[in-house]
Structure 1
Amino acid sequence: MVTRRSFLGGLVGAAIAPSIANAAADRDIEPEFLRDWLRADRIPPMVDRLPTHPRIVNMKESGRRAGTYGGTVRTIIGSAKDIRYMTIYGYARLVGYDTKLQFQPDILMGFTSENDSVFTFYLREGHRWSDGSPFTADDFRYWWEDVILNSELTPGGGALELRPHGELPKFEMLDQTTVRYTWSKPNPNFMPALAGPLPLVIFGPGKYLKQFHKKYQDDFRLSALMKENRVKKWADLHIKMSRASRPENPDLPMLDPWVNTTRPPAEQFVFVRNPFFHRVDENGVQLPYIDKFILNVSSSSIIAAKAGAGESDLQATGIDFNDYTFLKDAEKRFPVKVNLWKQARGSRVALLPNLNCADEVWRKLFSDVRFRRALSLAVDRHEINMVAFYGLGRASADTVLPESPLYKPEYADAFIAHDPDTANKLLDEIGLDKRDDEGFRLLPDGRRAEITVETAGESNLDTDVLELVRDHWKVIGLALYTRTSQRDIFRNRAMSGSIMMSIWFGIDNGIATADMSPGQLAPTLDDQLQWPLWGMNYLSAGQAGKAPDLPEVKQLVALLNQWGETTMFEEREAIWHQMLSLYTQQVFSIGLINSTLQPILRSAKLQNVPEQALYGFDPTSFLGIYMPDCFWLEEA
């Protein structure tokens, strides 16, 4: 049976695009910010800058107000790398999620999908990159033939989302506005990967990038460019100059609402409006409304203090719930508002025993489900919720939230009751029944049972929670110590097996639907802290890391593979439920509290920012699905 999904978003646009174009021609709706560029003939008039059928965002239908051009928004980032948030917030995607987490064409005018195996993409005629050059199917062809199929640029053979069954798809450029990708088997990960916060890259500005490619550039000029950009290989040069997810190259043509104008290193990055952005409101006004974003680099530890001192007009990252009282108090001193959005992760804080721990004794303990269950049962989540979250969160295992159609109470309730008596019995049963003079249990090799929980040190909240857990685990004879290191070191220690246990977020996507990949419930990535070596093994198709040796983990991987082979919604839903049940019953991550609240600070003049929303990395792309290009400053 062939299942066919199609969404030709341009059909609506096609019907009213002429009126939009006429509106642009009949009245002067050019942004003041672009006047000098227009007078200097650096850019054409709006009617010639927009695609023939732009994406039309109806503000009234979505409960927002049509805005006006202008203004600058300041935000604070913890390091220069965090300019990547502009790509995440801008959320210009071939296909993206709407606020109901349904797919909709964005950069694309439309698409069709047959059996999740044949995907045909239709581009918007007349769409342009930020430098004014045409955005066409040639940009997909360039990336396919000259990047993905080039072994020096893509030594691994391409992203897993492109080769879920070991082979890349067939690529076809049907005409200048139509491309097709065909797999012999279903690839249900393809569309979610394109809609994600860090989207799968399948196109790039070929006209610009050819100057960095050895196929198109002479050796002398290529060597000069490599020297100028301080790289030793031409492939490193191409990767550096083409990286859109972290837009460090101001010359790189983009499709985002704002484009970077600042070269690193810098303490301040300035992003300005893209004159060729493809969205307009119902009045023919080209988005984004806001002219400029200024990103000021600061130490992560003082972002909240600076935001509360009136130095940010929009702040979501670098602040946490334990900053809420301070930030709310700032409303009395500065023209700012602080809203609370619900975090979309499976757990705001989760304890992750490293099943790939290098210490053989601890690895054996962590691999015993009775030990993981004992650790979970010993935690008093009610106390954590009251002390750290003022009672506003929910005690829960690390699983999907009630907002997900996959939610079941038994997943959330798995081994979260505060039951130190049962925890003690489980530990005795395992063989940890000997204690020292202070009441701490002894390991089989005679060492005291001391668990070091490591943190990246990016949130005081983690430290506060660990102080409480230390007391809870002491009751069952386990000593807890904490260690803090920088994120990069933290990740490397996890990969090497040096970390016994870590505190981090739970599963990224707590609002999943059955059509989204359940890969977060199985070892699929090397940054999953409970099984990084198994995740690396999956990621490298068995070339690195280690293969799982726990039967239940093998079962999770098998179920994930089954999910990827079916096109039937009912079968995908059933597989999700099997995996959620297995994951929570096995307590592979010890979820503590979810449905917690995330402060979002904004200027009181900034309009169209939702008062309540879901906040998370995947699938909401933090602010992304709420379209910051529709935010506007009332004073402007």
Structure 2
Amino acid sequence: MSRHHRHPHLNTYQFSLHLTCTLSCLISLIFSFSLLANDRLPDIPAVVTFKAPYKQGKPGGTLRTLMAKNKDIRMMTVYGYARLVAYNQDFELVPDILQGIDIKEDRIFTLYLRPGHRWSDGEPLTSEDFRYFWEDVASNKDLSPFGPPIQLMVNGKPPKFTVIDKHVVRYEWEDPNPKFLTALAAPSPLFIYMPAHYLKQFHPRYTQKETLDLLVENAGKRNWQGLHHKRSNLYKQQNPKLPSLQPWVIKTKGPSDRFIFERNPYYHRIDEKGQQLPYIDKVIINIVSSGLIPAKTRAGDSDLQGRYLRLDNYTFLKAGEKQGNYQVRFWKNARGSQVAIYPNLNVNDPVWAKVMQDVRFRRALSLAINRHEINQVVYYGLALEGSNTILPSSPLYNPELSSAWTQYDPKLANQLLNDMGLTARNDNDIRLLPDGRPMEIVVHTAGESTEQTDVLELINDHWKAIGIKLHSRPSQREVFRNRIFSGEALMSVWEGLDNALPTPQMSPRELCPSMQEQYQWSQWGKYYETGQGDPPDLPELLKLAELHKKWVNADNRKQRTELWKKILKTYADQVYTIGTVTGVLQPVVVSNRLMNVPKEAWYSWEPGAYFGVFRPDTFWFNDEQD
């Protein structure tokens, strides 16, 4: 369990080598496995090895953690981090649920399951679960009206899916699909399998109409599609009856203020002694107000806590270490920007849309922000000031892009706005739009972070100096997102790039119009994701889309590296999002009894899945600790 971070280089040799090593390691253990709970393990389990200071543990115990909303229980899928292929602690991709994988030309992927591997209810995991997803869900117009997931489409074409045998499936595209494996390893992964034996009861191909209609009625759903969607979501953890492959399986039906997860008796990983993982028997998530989480953590109510803790909680938490029997550790946050502003280039208001789409306006807003003040006031001077881009630990990092249009220069910002013709002001010294309205910008927030509000208050003062008034409007996350997607929101605030530690082999789609989830151009992202709507009419955005397409079709790492560099340069120069600071330290509270949790690490959504890449199934309780 080395914590030295390198970056993945995906190729057939790496995966073949990993499989060979796994087989050789297991030969000497094969007889001892027969003495264990053999019927609960795959024929060839995944073996976890340890390097000092990490060590084999002992089974048992209950881990407690705190979340603020019922929806947060989906984080157990993130933290559990059982994936077909997964990042290890060196950020290299290796088979996990899969026994092995064969890759040819980055377009033909043959997946080998582990014979004997079972779902959490004891039913075998087989190629039928992959066939069911592909034929009966992804290719079913009723369940997937927009077609298969975007990660399975290359140049608008789906793969050819083939069942080779009970434990082998193949996906074959005409052109390379380098984003396939990273999608499988994501914190919110691409699920290309479903428990067919359980879900067929909700599908008209396998269940009589009268029976299915009764199930729909009893569930209070409008149709069988709604029922199937509700029962089949492997990410959200909403259905305790849904079989799982994760280390812990939900046992509590929401809504609730206390969710219980119990160890998966058919989990596929073991330690070198042959002990089946996870070590910890049970995970309990208590739901409390986000504002109370630091206090309850200090009181010792959480054994492992990172979510809803902030840098400014550090002193408070540190003072409670002895009483709470925990340690506060600092992990490095791996976002592109701790707080980023997203101008909505697809806002419905035509006057504002024209202003937002002018790069001079976005550059002016960025230049007017005093990032040094934000760093000192909110982050105690411990953060890195710059744009919303990748971090120095990435092999693609360019310091010039981190500083692009981020110097504090209100004089130049004013000049850019004047060059746009926005010279008129009202009696309050606020600039006027071309139609005479004052330039008052409402920045929408999800209402989940006082940190974002603190930063916006400072930016309000900065933008006043160039004649622009800022207002913040909090709302629930779903409302927040819908206002952006509908074009109602003029601007929003959110975290920066999810993956600020990319390698050339990781998809740059976060920086290119590719999905509706992109708050700076959600409608154009939706166009590239689903084909609905109209493409962008801005040359630089069309350039980004074309560069992304070239990256997908690139033949080698060198080509992808050059394309990444062009994408990063265009994104930074056009200031499609406005970053503030990054590298903010993340407090992580760890019980003194909890072993194998890193002292220093990346706190990263992607790649990393926060705790997931460090394998919480190997965490264990040492009751001999004081």
TM bucket, shorter chain: over 0.9
Aligned residue among 184, 189, 196 for 2:186: 196
Mapped to 1, the partners of 2:190 and 2:522 lie a distance apart of 22
Mapped to 1, the partners of 2:92 and 2:131 lie a distance apart of 28
Cα–Cα, structure 1 residues 239 and 436, in superposed 2: closer, same or farther, change >3 Å?
Answer: closer
SS where residue 29 of structure 2 aligns? helix
- Note the alpha carbon deviations across 1:131-170, whole angstroms, 9 max, x for none: 1111111211222222222221222111011112222111
Mapped to 1, the partners of 2:138 and 2:470 lie a distance apart of 47
Mapped to 2, the partners of 1:623 and 1:119 lie a distance apart of 28
1:232 and 2:222 equivalent?
yes
Aligned position for 1:560: 548
Aligned position for 1:479: 469
Cα–Cα, structure 1 residues 71 and 629, in superposed 2: closer, same or farther, change >3 Å?
Answer: same
Aligned length: 613
Aligned residue among 598, 605, 609 for 1:617: 605
1:208 and 2:198 equivalent?
yes
1:51 and 2:49 equivalent?
no
Aligned position for 1:577: 565
Aligned position for 1:38: none
Mapped to 1, the partners of 2:227 and 2:434 lie a distance apart of 53
Provide TM-score, normalisation by structure 2.
0.95
1:260 and 2:250 equivalent?
yes
Aligned residue among 126, 150, 157 for 1:160: 150
1:595 and 2:595 equivalent?
no
Mapped to 2, the partners of 1:479 and 1:562 lie a distance apart of 41
Mapped to 2, the partners of 1:568 and 1:14 lie a distance apart of 30
SS where residue 601 of structure 1 aligns? strand
Q: Superposition pairs for residues 400-411 of structure 1, below 5 Å?
A: 400-411=390-401
SS where residue 287 of structure 1 aligns? coil
Deviation at 1:445, TM superposition (A): 2.0
2:436 alignment partner AA: G
Aligned position for 1:40: none
Gaps of 5+ in 2: 1-10
Mapped to 2, the partners of 1:313 and 1:58 lie a distance apart of 24
Deviation at 1:329, TM superposition (A): 2.2
2:29 alignment partner AA: I
Aligned position for 2:619: 631
Q: Is the 1:6–1:111 contact (alpha carbons within 8 Å) kept by the matching residues of 2?
A: no
Q: Superposition pairs for residues 241-256 of structure 1, below 5 Å?
A: 241-256=231-246
Deviation at 1:67, TM superposition (A): 0.8
Gaps of 5+ in 1: 27-44
2:168 alignment partner AA: T
Q: Percent identity?
A: 47
Deviation at 1:291, TM superposition (A): 0.5
Mapped to 2, the partners of 1:436 and 1:216 lie a distance apart of 68
2:574 alignment partner AA: Q
Deviation at 1:298, TM superposition (A): 2.0
Aligned position for 1:323: 313
Aligned position for 1:42: none
1:7 and 2:15 equivalent?
yes
Deviation at 1:5, TM superposition (A): 4.8
Mapped to 2, the partners of 1:576 and 1:122 lie a distance apart of 31
Q: Superposition pairs for residues 306-317 of structure 1, below 5 Å?
A: 306-317=296-307
Q: Is the 1:340–1:600 contact (alpha carbons within 8 Å) kept by the matching residues of 2?
A: yes
Q: Is the 2:384–2:583 contact (alpha carbons within 8 Å) kept by the matching residues of 1?
A: yes
Q: Is the 2:498–2:605 contact (alpha carbons within 8 Å) kept by the matching residues of 1?
A: yes
1:149 and 2:158 equivalent?
no
Q: Is the 1:10–1:109 contact (alpha carbons within 8 Å) kept by the matching residues of 2?
A: yes
Aligned position for 2:294: 304
Aligned position for 2:484: 494
Q: Is the 2:41–2:117 contact (alpha carbons within 8 Å) kept by the matching residues of 1?
A: yes
Mapped to 2, the partners of 1:152 and 1:452 lie a distance apart of 39
1:138 and 2:128 equivalent?
yes
Deviation at 1:126, TM superposition (A): 1.2
Mapped to 2, the partners of 1:53 and 1:25 lie a distance apart of 11
Q: Is the 1:10–1:53 contact (alpha carbons within 8 Å) kept by the matching residues of 2?
A: no
Q: Is the 1:452–1:500 contact (alpha carbons within 8 Å) kept by the matching residues of 2?
A: yes
Mapped to 2, the partners of 1:618 and 1:66 lie a distance apart of 27
Aligned residue among 111, 115, 122 for 1:125: 115
Moved more, 113-122 or 7-16: 7-16
Q: Is the 1:373–1:415 contact (alpha carbons within 8 Å) kept by the matching residues of 2?
A: yes
Deviation at 1:106, TM superposition (A): 0.1
Deviation at 1:205, TM superposition (A): 1.4
Deviation at 1:293, TM superposition (A): 0.2
Aligned position for 1:16: 25
Mapped to 2, the partners of 1:445 and 1:394 lie a distance apart of 39
Q: Is the 1:23–1:283 contact (alpha carbons within 8 Å) kept by the matching residues of 2?
A: no
Mapped to 2, the partners of 1:615 and 1:111 lie a distance apart of 28
Aligned position for 2:64: 74
Deviation at 1:18, TM superposition (A): 4.3
Mapped to 1, the partners of 2:376 and 2:335 lie a distance apart of 19
Instruction: Give structure 1 regions of 4+ aligned residues with deviation exceeding 4 angstroms.
Output: 3-6
Aligned position for 2:87: 97
Mapped to 2, the partners of 1:10 and 1:47 lie a distance apart of 21
Deviation at 1:506, TM superposition (A): 1.0
Q: Is the 2:154–2:175 contact (alpha carbons within 8 Å) kept by the matching residues of 1?
A: no
Deviation at 1:385, TM superposition (A): 0.6
Q: Is the 2:154–2:173 contact (alpha carbons within 8 Å) kept by the matching residues of 1?
A: no
Aligned position for 2:437: 447
SS where residue 270 of structure 1 aligns? strand
Deviation at 1:309, TM superposition (A): 2.5
Q: Superposition pairs for residues 450-469 of structure 1, below 5 Å?
A: 450-469=440-459
Q: Superposition pairs for residues 29-44 of structure 1, below 5 Å?
A: none
Mapped to 1, the partners of 2:146 and 2:349 lie a distance apart of 31
Mapped to 2, the partners of 1:142 and 1:490 lie a distance apart of 35
SS where residue 590 of structure 1 aligns? coil
Mapped to 1, the partners of 2:389 and 2:613 lie a distance apart of 22
1:363 and 2:371 equivalent?
no
2:473 alignment partner AA: R
Provide TM-score, normalisation by structure 1.
0.94
Aligned residue among 154, 163, 177 for 2:167: 177
Mapped to 1, the partners of 2:486 and 2:196 lie a distance apart of 39
